[in-house]
Structure 1
């Protein structure tokens, strides 16, 4: 039977209660607290069919998310991790009836953008709801009643874009959290949320507690000590960290007994290095189970279960696991589209029941072994995986070329101990012009999301090119070695 997601959340939230719901900053908020925020927002939003949420990992944002979902409003996520000008640009482009944001994100630029398109501006705080600007006449974007969420995609199936997830897909993804990430049907066990609310991994943590009335411990961002303290204090049965977090935990002095409640740690958002996996398991005595998914698929499509780990863990090191329930995977030749036999590397395609009947091609080189385990072999499009956030180099380079001093640019990823990969840029200047790294970073921060901004720049007389006059990316990368 398909889950009626809005009704399930409405039943949880409207029931209220003095029992613990959301922990943040060392303090619990009750279900009464969640109901109060959600009720005030619901009344303020009125007949708004679509709401933009400048998403942060804070209790009031979870309550706001509950308010939009339970009323079956479409929620369009806006990255908070960008400059005020970027948030303002998103607000102006989306043209939605209402925007909800933390008080600190309602900068003059954001408020001016909301007023310019008639979007109602609502500020939320830890227990507060305040209307900053009324809704104007619009015109607003047309409603999409079948779409529950709009997220900026990770870029797995192409350049990042705003993807609409139908209500049925979200309901299927919520059910899937029982076997992927750290979801559990044991509602007495809390979850510790470290993934951003605005992406698909974060939603896998935010939505199930609202359905199952489960306690949720919220961290604004992954910090190894804060995460370990949360596990020690709240004793969840399962946990999750990004691949970069595995290395950070290994580099820390965290006592192993702090993590003793965990039966497993799921690792999503990027490929987990085999040596790191072994080192983590040897030190903490906890299985580290990789998973693979994307916004376009509504969540995880391949993962390890504990049973599979006990049978194949040592033999299948480096695998992202087997197809998740409801997912069918295949590997095809990049040029012909013909399905390849086990062990051969090609492009990954997935058919996911919660999305639809068709196979969707990704830009991931992968292989499936004879037992059906998925192995990832890098990106066909050269995308950079920065701690789980995927960056398309051509998009960053195209933005750089808009700078008046830059004639051409190339962006590549280089290895990073903490994040796996980070973007860097080589730049060819226009004749007679100059630029410095600090100024370029500031300029880009007004035009890109924070994680897309290169960490280093090389200004060269001419970009290295091959015989076909195409930029030689290996030579660009060599500039940073």
Structure 2
């Protein structure tokens, strides 16, 4: 599969057809193509070489989607920037990465320091939405040390920043093409090789575009000929209205979003078009999936992937669900075609017995930076059962070693969430001079318990954990918070959580 050619074919099948819905308006393929092609034309006029990346401040806006798709079609590499950064941090990120071009919405160009940063690195500034001129005071300087990439690079993307500051990973067109095709073949079988066409189907994209999940969803949706329903951000009622109004059949809900839908008590009839909900990006508690399925009657299937993998490596399918029912609850499915997995002992690197927990290794053409035939060691603990289903059991660096005893933070958090006064919880390792590490927890309480004295609350919850788990798993600190700190993709921001618990 040549992803750039497939997207180009889809984009020109019927330029009058609806391509993208945003805030009450449909944009046609012709409109989307014209905007993106205008940006590429400006690059050519400025003489920007093809190995220098197009920086994009990726807001969830049709203008940014148009540039993303045009870059795919033109085989131009992109360099993603998060507009959610504070003004000074965004300007610093531009200075550090030195894009040849920065494309941004008009509102971002008004942010203090951004024009100066773009000018300092000798980049051309393009105001998305008005591509007839470059942003005043900035022009492309050919001999400046701009960000360059290897041939075939599609994008240099930000990771989610779950455990610290987001990092950048370069993904290739071939890697993305493999990820798209193998995921499609995994779920749709031979239909993955069907002729290019426009489909009467719409996909919702509501996670930030600079995240690999949304970036890949844009590529997959376009390549499949489906329409895009773009939302600025996830909001449960707006998502449900989009499902209802566009008759969406398959939709993504990360675990936090799924809980928000349940808590908002969305009417069941609004979701009657849904045939399946996909989940991923963060661990999904089986109890949450069960609650969603019980309320809405929609099966939940889970996938496993990361930015470094150019998307997903494994996934449950509806065929699996029909064959196995809920007996594989908690699994992230089986490997996609072309993906190989192994489980090894974290100490000696030897393969473990079937069903045993160890470090997950993967080998696939879509893994960023991997040499052909090379196994990539992930940071995830996992097991593979006798039927080939993968279960993620935590992260290698998440395991808390308390005086020689191993504590699973996910298990402790799940135990805290079972307490009737706890709405949500997260557990991380805190440094300790005597024991090395100890568990610490943050909890979100029910409305009626938020005024409870902190010392009494901590003692009560510690006793609760002690009654369910080994004594060494009991958190030494349990602090109530209004909300758990999360990244833009709704994962727990562990660095921010650690800071909360240190106070």
- When normalised by structure 2's length, the TM-score is 0.74
Equivalent residues in 2 for 1:356-367, closer than 5 Å: 356-367=372-383
**SS, match of residue 169 in structure 1:** helix
1:267 to 252, 266, 279: 279
Give the C-alpha shift of residue 181 in structure 1: 8.9
**Which residue pairs with 1:439 in the alignment?**
none
Worse-superposed segment, 333-342 or 183-192 = 183-192
Aligned partners of 2:55 and 2:79 also within 8 Å:
yes
User: Over residues 361-394 of structure 1, what are the superposed CA-to-partner deviations in whole Å (9 max), with x where a residue is unaligned?
Assistant: 11111111111111111111129999xxxx9x99
**SS, match of residue 221 in structure 2:** helix
Is 1:147 equivalent to 2:163 in the alignment?
Answer: no
Aligned partners of 2:187 and 2:318 also within 8 Å:
no
Whole-angstrom distance in 2 between the partners of 1:17 and 1:90: 37
Equivalent residues in 2 for 1:27-106, closer than 5 Å: 27-46=25-44, 47-48=47-48, 49=50, 50-106=53-109
Equivalent residues in 2 for 1:34-433, closer than 5 Å: 34-46=32-44, 47-48=47-48, 49=50, 50-106=53-109, 107-125=111-129, 130-132=133-135, 133-137=138-142, 138-154=144-160, 160-178=166-184, 187-355=199-367, 356-382=372-398, 414=442
Whole-angstrom distance in 2 between the partners of 1:311 and 1:326: 22
User: Over residues 177-216 of structure 1, what are the superposed CA-to-partner deviations in whole Å (9 max), with x where a residue is unaligned?
Assistant: 4257999968221111122211221122111233343210
**SS, match of residue 304 in structure 2:** strand
- When normalised by structure 1's length, the TM-score is 0.78
Aligned partners of 1:157 and 1:296 also within 8 Å:
no
Aligned partners of 1:331 and 1:348 also within 8 Å:
yes
Give the C-alpha shift of residue 417 in structure 1: 8.3
Worse-superposed segment, 323-332 or 115-124 = 323-332
The Cα RMSD (Å) is 3.4
Whole-angstrom distance in 2 between the partners of 1:382 and 1:146: 35
Give the C-alpha shift of residue 118 in structure 1: 0.3
**Which residue pairs with 1:18 in the alignment?**
16
**Which residue pairs with 2:418 in the alignment?**
none
Whole-angstrom distance in 2 between the partners of 1:365 and 1:79: 30
Whole-angstrom distance in 2 between the partners of 1:326 and 1:80: 35
Aligned partners of 2:75 and 2:152 also within 8 Å:
no
**Paired residues, number:** 413
Give the C-alpha shift of residue 312 in structure 1: 1.9
**SS, match of residue 496 in structure 2:** coil
Give the C-alpha shift of residue 55 in structure 1: 0.9
Is 1:454 equivalent to 2:460 in the alignment?
Answer: no
Give the C-alpha shift of residue 313 in structure 1: 3.2
Whole-angstrom distance in 2 between the partners of 1:25 and 1:281: 29
Give the C-alpha shift of residue 150 in structure 1: 0.8
**SS, match of residue 37 in structure 1:** helix
Give the C-alpha shift of residue 28 in structure 1: 0.8
Whole-angstrom distance in 1 between the partners of 2:321 and 2:127: 46
Which of the two has greater strand per residue? 1
Give the C-alpha shift of residue 129 in structure 1: 5.9
Aligned partners of 1:180 and 1:291 also within 8 Å:
no
User: Over residues 332-371 of structure 1, what are the superposed CA-to-partner deviations in whole Å (9 max), with x where a residue is unaligned?
Assistant: 1101000111221111111113334221111111111111
Which of the two has greater helix per residue? 2
Whole-angstrom distance in 1 between the partners of 2:445 and 2:317: 28
Give the C-alpha shift of residue 155 in structure 1: 6.8
Aligned partners of 2:39 and 2:131 also within 8 Å:
no
Whole-angstrom distance in 2 between the partners of 1:158 and 1:296: 16
Give the C-alpha shift of residue 276 in structure 1: 0.8
Give the C-alpha shift of residue 217 in structure 1: 0.2
User: Over residues 203-233 of structure 1, what are the superposed CA-to-partner deviations in whole Å (9 max), with x where a residue is unaligned?
Assistant: 2211123334321001121111111100000
**SS, match of residue 270 in structure 2:** helix
**SS, match of residue 363 in structure 2:** strand
Is 1:7 equivalent to 2:49 in the alignment?
Answer: no
Give the C-alpha shift of residue 114 in structure 1: 0.6
Whole-angstrom distance in 2 between the partners of 1:270 and 1:338: 27
Structure 2 unaligned residues grouped into runs of 5+: 193-197, 400-408, 414-425, 432-437, 447-486
